[in-house]
């Protein structure tokens, strides 16, 4: 008769016991591998943003970026009420041309359009495709105010913020995969908790702050361009005072937003103003506006 008392309970050798001891283990190697890959990826695709000198990571070529921007821009224009001609259209094109000329970027097929819409907004797509909505003209109020708004959008294109965001999204997806592998042996409840916390943490701790950093960088670069193009940069904080009044405090707080608050932007513009005025004096002397 077989004897079963040879091994004390809890020490019976076999697969089930081994699996029990491994269950719940956090694997570090996927995180380490992703960290090494991230460092290699950064140094392989790193470039410098003009004017600010910030190091950024962009993994697509400028030609690819221009093609993507053109495709998206044409789609938006085809679905929008584009203003074909008129004094406001001429103004948008003239301001855009002057600002683009001081950027030093000659490879972009610059294009500026005015879209009839109540939105108080403007946007830029990769490759120098810029559009202004008629709803923002009352906020701009004057030529210098419109130059501030358009300078900000031109700065987004020059700094390649769109391409940088696409690269960050790729890294976020790969990082999520690495975390998923690291917790793959844990129970389902723990995995869901970790991945949920990761999603919230990356959104509020990385993606939103970085978006706000892009907006502040575009504000600064745009202000320098406005000054070099001989517009009055002192209109910048006034634009955001008007924007704050127009928004009536609607929208989420800064922590939950992709953009800095109007108050933050006004403070930053005032901080940068001496440098902008020096740039205007250097490039324009006493000449302002048109």
Residues with a catalytic annotation lie at: 153
**How many residues are given for the chain?**
290
Residue 57 and residue 12: Cα distance in Å, rounded?
Answer: 54
Residue 68 and residue 70: Cα distance in Å, rounded?
Answer: 6
Identify whether the C-beta of residue 118 lies closer than 8 Å to the C-beta of residue 103: no
3-class secondary structure, 154: helix
Instruction: Give the list of residues 6+ apart from residue 22 with CB closer than 8 angstroms, or none.
Output: 185
Phi, psi dihedrals of residue 286, rounded to the nearest 5°:
-95, 5
Residue 222 and residue 151: Cα distance in Å, rounded?
Answer: 4
Q: How many CB atoms lie within 10 A of CB 179?
A: 21
Identify whether the C-beta of residue 236 lies closer than 8 Å to the C-beta of residue 268: no
Comparing C-alpha atoms, which of 131, 268, 171, 170 is closest to residue 212? 268
């Amino acid at each position: 008769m077989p004897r079963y008392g040879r091994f004390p309970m809890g020490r019976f050798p076999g697969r089930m016991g081994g699996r029990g001891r491994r269950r719940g283990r956090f694997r570090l190697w996927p995180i380490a591998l992703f960290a090494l890959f991230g460092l290699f990826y950064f140094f392989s695709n790193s470039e410098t943003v003009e004017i600010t000198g910030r190091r950024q990571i962009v993994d697509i070529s400028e030609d690819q970026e221009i093609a993507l921007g053109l495709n998206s821009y044409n789609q938006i224009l085809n679905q929008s009420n584009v203003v074909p001609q008129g004094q406001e259209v001429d103004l948008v094109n003239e301001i855009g041309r002057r600002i683009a000329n001081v950027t030093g970027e000659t490879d972009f097929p610059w294009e500026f359009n005015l879209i009839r819409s109540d939105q108080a907004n403007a946007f830029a797509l990769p490759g120098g495709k810029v559009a202004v909505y008629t709803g923002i003209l009352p906020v701009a109020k004057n030529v210098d105010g419109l130059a501030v708004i358009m300078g900000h959008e031109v700065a987004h294109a020059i700094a390649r913020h769109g391409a940088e965001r696409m690269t960050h999204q790729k890294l976020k997806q790969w990082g999520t995969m690495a975390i998923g592998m690291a917790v793959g042996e844990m129970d389902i409840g723990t995995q869901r908790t970790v991945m949920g916390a990761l999603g919230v943490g990356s959104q509020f701790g990385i993606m939103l702050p970085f978006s706000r950093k892009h907006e502040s960088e575009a504000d600064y670069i745009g202000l320098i361009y406005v000054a070099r193009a001989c517009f009055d940069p002192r209109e910048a904080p006034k634009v955001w005072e008007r924007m704050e009044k127009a928004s009536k405090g609607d929208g989420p707080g800064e922590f939950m937003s992709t953009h800095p608050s109007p108050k933050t932007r006004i403070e930053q513009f005032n901080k940068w103003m001496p440098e902008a005025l020096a740039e205007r004096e250097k490039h324009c002397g006493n000449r302002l506006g048109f």
